[in-house]
């Protein structure tokens, strides 16, 4: 399992290529990338591009329907969502979720 926090800080850094190669290894069970949607929307390659390729991720408290564009969906919105509430997107299917806050 590969966990990458603050993926926006990795853009165009030498080690980003190594992380993408690790993510492509058959032994990699999965990849979790944390970043702002604005960062991911601007990335079509590297770590930021992985969510676009697999169209799978969690959008925490999306502020705009366009936040889902990175995963190929129009995000479900609800301003009343508590901290930690979001939407799990798996290949275009959205499911409300609650994560530990």
Spatial separation of the C-alpha atoms in residues 20 and 67, rounded to whole Å: 23
- Residue 43 predicted with pLDDT over 70: no
DSSP three-state, residue 14: helix
- Residue 97 predicted with pLDDT over 70: yes
Per DSSP, 55 falls in state T
pLDDT, tens digit, 9 for 90 and up, residues 50-94? 767 777 888 888 888 888 888 889 987 777 777 888 888 888 898
- Which pTM was predicted? 0.72
Of residues 81 and 27, more confidence is placed in 27
pLDDT for 70 equals 82
**Could you tell me what percent of the chain has a pLDDT over 90?**
0
- Residue 33 predicted with pLDDT over 70: yes
Cα dihedral sign, 17-72-59-31 = negative
């Amino acid at each position: 399992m590969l966990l990458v926090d603050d993926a926006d800080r990795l853009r165009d850094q030498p080690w980003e290529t190594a992380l993408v190669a690790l993510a492509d290894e058959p032994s990699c069970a999965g990849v979790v990338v944390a970043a702002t949607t604005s960062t991911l929307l601007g990335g079509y390659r590297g770590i930021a591009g992985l969510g676009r390729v697999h169209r799978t991720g969690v959008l925490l408290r999306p502020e705009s329907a366009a936040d889902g564009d990175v995963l190929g969906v129009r995000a479900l919105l609800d301003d009343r969502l508590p901290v930690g509430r979001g939407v799990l997107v798996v290949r275009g299917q959205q499911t409300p979720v609650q994560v530990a806050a």
